[in-house]
Chain A
Amino acid sequence: MSERSTLFDFTLGLGDDALIAAQRLGEWTSRAPEMEEDIALANIALDQLGAARLLLTYAGELEGAGRNEDDLAYLRGDREFRNRLLVELPNGDFAVTMAKLFFLAAYQLPLYTALAGCADERLAAIGAKARKESAYHLDHASLWVKRLGDGTEESHRRMQAAVDQVWPYVHELFTADPAAPVDPATLRADFDAHVSAVLAEATLTRPADGWTPGGGRAGVHTEHLSYLLAEMQVLHRAHPGARW
């Protein structure tokens, strides 16, 4: 595989992670537990969407087939999407959403930080911008994991259940890819350090490793993704070639 095509795959994968995460977070709009959180979740969704647009635009340029961000977002089927499974899981209750965001941000922060120093100038610029946002997302999610974990009995129970439910999907984030500008396997130590500290402070138990579902980067998804795409793409696909 050529270097350019490796770079395309890598960039597209990161763009898809951010796009699908944004789509899920956007579903919370007007449904959050408090108004401040409505604003925060929309804000994080907007950051993820912003990163997705930069990454997909660049992926389209690397591919050289004339596809722009909207072609890539709206005109690919679920077998062509490259996002990790974690981001496509349904929102569940607020604890599940926070568990997903917490693990995603704890992965994206070291990822974008490493990307900021990589040799590819475009990716380095995107990483430099996105890591600042990821740091905010990680703060926000960490605080909620602690509040819920060490809040009431009910919230502790729900937060632990959410962490247990989502944990298996964490491993896919770190699947080794030595040819990529940043090999995800090298990010695991940072992730573990932060996650262990927050879980301990939140009085939560880190789940044992066992089942490790994967396949997102190969376009083999959960049953959830094609429903998400059906909704996201319906209007765009109904008007081929239209401008919006």
Chain B
Amino acid sequence: MYGNDFAPPEDGPGGGLLGEVEAAEAALREAAARARRGGPAPDEDLEAYFADVIDADQKIEPRDWMPEAYRKTLIRQIAQHAHSEIIGMQPEGNWISRAPSLKRKAILLAKVQDEAGHGLYLYAAAETLGVRRDELVELLIEGRQKYSSIFNYPTLTWADVGAIGWLVDGAAIVNQVPLCRCSYGPYARAMIRVCKEESFHQRQGYEILHTLAHGTPEQHAMAQDAVDRWWYPSLAMFGPPDGDSTHSAQSMAWKIKRFSNDELRQRFVDMCVQQAEILGLTLPDPDLRWNEERQAYDYTQPDYDELMRVIKGDGPCNRQRMEHRRRAHAEGAWVREAAAAYAAKRAEQQKEKVAA
């Protein structure tokens, strides 16, 4: 419904990325049509068979044999991705009650609802690897699994909702579009669906900022302040620089990851510079400039010590976000127990009916 208010994809940010998502979707269909040979021969080495499938750019599916480390890496990555969607509802949810127009309120409600949907979809993808959603939720609540560091920053003004859409969702898409070609089928398929919606959210955020930047002087200042605060945390979302990234090499070999952290970060910077110009806002980096030789923008790296502190739990909102999640879970326990008890009673009645 609310989509009609926006420019078509090719005119807005994320247009090229959406094209990549569609190409990945087509590739997925082709890979399925090529029909993998029907599983390993009885005496074939399973590791060799697995490597063959990956080399041929075909998909590993839930019933296939896979190295234990591949399974574990994927569970960790998909679960943390799912947790991020769930925790990510909080910073934006913070502005639903105060959204400045009914149209914006409706768009924001729909967006946060989409995020919960992404969370569910990703937990379902993780479950295909042999782990239960409630176990993963426990790991989150006990602080034994992480979620994206970005959601530990506060949303202080309405413009933050726009900045999250433009920068945070923008960074998420740049990160996630290559995952549409990830070697694990259920994750790749989840990412295609997630990226399409995220790209839509990014345009909504961009539109919020565009309206503010072209509004009253107070609104413009609010937009600039939000971009100033969210720029570096968004750059940090791509993770530590390539030299310090612990999981990268193996994930690249398994085709879970397709590009390095620094490659994706560069792509994101290059994308944002032009968009910021159209917005009439400044990216808070005095050393940002075009490098003719590299055909890319030079930029100042984010503070990776800060990133590490936030990941370890000492960001501005880590305690608040976790406390909120724990409280919702604890206060809802009696409701979940009631639903289970009710379902058990109905199943029992059904059995008696059949027996009678």
Contact = CB atoms under 8 A, between A and B. Distances in A.
A147 B93 CA distance: 28
22 contacts: A30-B90, A30-B112, A30-B328, A32-B328, A33-B332, A35-B120, A35-B123, A39-B113, A42-B109, A45-B109, A46-B113, A49-B106, A50-B106, A74-B100, A147-B342, A148-B342, A152-B337, A152-B338, A234-B98, A235-B99, A236-B100, A239-B100
Interface string A87-113: 000000110000000000000000000
Interface string B326-356: 0110011111111111100100000000000
A83 interface: no
B90 A151 contact: no
A73 interface: yes
B291 interface: no
Given A23-B97, A242-B216, 16 more contacts: A29-B96, A29-B109, A30-B86, A30-B324, A31-B324, A32-B328, A33-B336, A37-B335, A43-B113, A46-B106, A49-B105, A52-B102, A147-B338, A155-B334, A231-B97, A231-B98
Contact of B335 (A45, A94, A241): A94
A34 interface: yes
What are the nearest 3 A-B pairs in CB distance? A33-B332, A151-B338, A155-B338
State which size class the interface on B falls in: 35 or more
A60 to B, nearest CB: 12
A69 B106 CA distance: 13
Interface of B: 1, 86, 89-90, 93, 96-106, 109-110, 112-113, 116-117, 119-120, 123, 158, 208, 211-212, 215-216, 218-219, 324, 327-328, 331-342, 345
A172 interface: no
A183 interface: no
B336 A34 contact: yes
Contacts of A242: 100, 215-216, 218-219
Contacts of A148: 335, 338, 342
A244 B112 CA distance: 19
Chain B CB within 10 Å, residue with most, of A73, A74, A244: A244
A53 B101 CA distance: 10
Nearest to A146: B342
Given A30-B112, A146-B342, A242-B219, A70 B335 contact: no
Interface of A: 19, 22-23, 26-27, 29-39, 42-43, 45-46, 49-50, 52-53, 56, 69-70, 73-74, 93-94, 146-148, 150-152, 154-155, 158, 231-232, 234-236, 239, 241-244
Contacts of A50: 1, 106
Nearest to B105: A49
B323 to A, nearest CB: 12
B120 A33 contact: no
Contact of A34 (B106, B110, B335, B342): B335
B102 A42 contact: no
Nearest to B328: A31
B119 A35 contact: yes
Nearest to A45: B109
Contact of B109 (A26, A37, A70, A155): A26
A46 B158 CA distance: 19
Nearest to A56: B102
Contact of B110 (A23, A46, A151): A46
Contact of B120 (A23, A39, A93): A39
B338 to A, nearest CB: 3
Contacts of B102: 19, 49, 52-53, 56, 69-70, 73
Given A239-B100, A242-B219, A42 B342 contact: no
A39 B117 contact: yes
A147 B346 CA distance: 10
Given A26-B96, A35-B120, A242-B216, A49 B109 contact: yes
A94 B332 CA distance: 8
A38 B337 CA distance: 17
